[in-house]
């Protein structure tokens, strides 16, 4: 499975990380959950900057991270997600710093976190929030949620099944992302958000729907079941990413 291959590569990357990271003296924190909850008009869209993916291959070439971040932030996204996995998604940890330097809105580090050092690294790079995938961390999820919070990062826990929802709700994470993509098969089913949102909403957590959102009609379909949308490929693949973002924000 692709996920297994990604984790193997991630272990090799993590093995090269230092034990301690220098403090980021210039870091200015912005709250992801605050940005979502305080949205007054338009849809709360987290625009994801990514260059490629296992399912689509190369999405966009020669992306100027600083310029793209500024362009998307100016067109109404509540936050930016930055994919830092290099082998399958064409990212880099330094992309976080580049994006953060260009915007005041929250920046989410999206990667396959499997080691505590990646949390410290995320803080050092300047991220405001970090993705924690329930399917990857399994029984270690509560420890990583607590660790992220100790570092002053907001954990976004990603789920795809009812058992993963239960695991996420057993933690102190306020942000839960429902991935419509099955990471084992990479198939997308947007009904996943509808099917899993009930218990998360009953628990008072903030729901982000992830993956498979292609048009404004998709946004309108999903609105009753989530508080925000994380959208990457359909924005980045568009000839004018800022116009595609506007379609989602205004849907």
Q: Could you confirm whether 211 is annotated as catalytic?
A: yes
Q: Could you confirm whether 239 is annotated as catalytic?
A: no
* Residue of 43, 48, 52, 209 marked catalytic: 48
What is the residue-wise DSSP string for 164-226?
HHHHHHTS--SEEEEESB-TTT--B-THHHHHHHHHHHHTT-EEEEES---SHHHHHHHGGG-
Q: Could you confirm whether 158 is annotated as catalytic?
A: yes
For residue 97, what are its two tokens?
């710093």
* Residue of 209, 211, 233, 234 marked catalytic: 211
Pairing, β 52-53 against β 57-58: antiparallel
The two most distant CA atoms of the chain are separated, in Å, by 47
- The span from the CA of 122 to the CA of 109, in Å, is 7
In this structure, which topology does domain 2-14+33-250 adopt according to CATH? TIM Barrel (3.20.20)
Q: Could you confirm whether 172 is annotated as catalytic?
A: no
Q: Could you confirm whether 180 is annotated as catalytic?
A: no
- The span from the CA of 216 to the CA of 71, in Å, is 20
pLDDT digits (tens, 9 = 90+) for 157-166: 999 999 999 9
Can you give the pTM of this predicted structure? 0.96
Cα first-last separation, the chain: 35
- The span from the CA of 32 to the CA of 138, in Å, is 24
Q: Could you confirm whether 100 is annotated as catalytic?
A: no
pLDDT digits (tens, 9 = 90+) for 182-200: 988 889 999 999 999 999 9
* CA distances from residue 153 to 29, 52, 164, 169, 248 in whole angstroms, order as listed: 9, 26, 21, 18, 27
* Residue of 85, 154, 158, 164 marked catalytic: 158
Q: Could you confirm whether 12 is annotated as catalytic?
A: no
* Residue of 179, 209, 233, 234 marked catalytic: 179
pLDDT digits (tens, 9 = 90+) for 104-142: 999 999 999 999 999 999 999 999 999 999 999 999 999
Give 173's DSSP letter: -
* Residue of 210, 233, 234, 244 marked catalytic: 210
pLDDT over 90 (residue 22): no
């Amino acid at each position: 499975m692709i996920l297994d291959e990604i984790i193997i590569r991630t272990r090799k990357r993590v093995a090269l990380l230092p034990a301690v990271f220098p403090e980021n003296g210039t870091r200015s924190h912005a709250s992801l959950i605050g940005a979502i909850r305080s949205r007054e008009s338009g849809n709360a869209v987290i625009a994801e900057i990514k260059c490629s993916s296992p399912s689509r291959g190369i999405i966009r070439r020669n992306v100027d991270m600083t310029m793209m971040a500024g362009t998307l932030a100016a067109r109404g996204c509540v936050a930016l997600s930055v994919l830092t996995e290099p082998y399958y998604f064409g990212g880099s940890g330094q992309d976080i710093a580049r994006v953060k330097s260009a915007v005041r809105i929250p920046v989410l580090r999206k990667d396959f976190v499997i080691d505590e050092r990646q949390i410290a690294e995320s803080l050092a790079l300047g991220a405001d929030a970090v993705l924690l995938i329930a399917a990857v961390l399994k029984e270690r999820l509560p420890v990583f949620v607590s660790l992220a919070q100790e570092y002053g990062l907001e954990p976004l826990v990603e789920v795809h099944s009812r058992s993963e929802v239960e695991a996420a709700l057993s933690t102190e994470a306020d942000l839960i992302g429902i991935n419509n993509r099955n990471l084992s098969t990479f198939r997308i089913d947007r009904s996943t958000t509808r099917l899993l949102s009930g218990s998360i909403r009953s628990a008072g957590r903030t729901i982000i729907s992830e993956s498979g959102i292609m048009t404004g009609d998709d946004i309108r379909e999903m609105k009753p079941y989530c508080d925000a949308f994380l959208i990457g490929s359909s924005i980045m693949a568009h000839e004018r990413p800022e116009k595609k973002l506007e379609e989602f924000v205004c849907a």
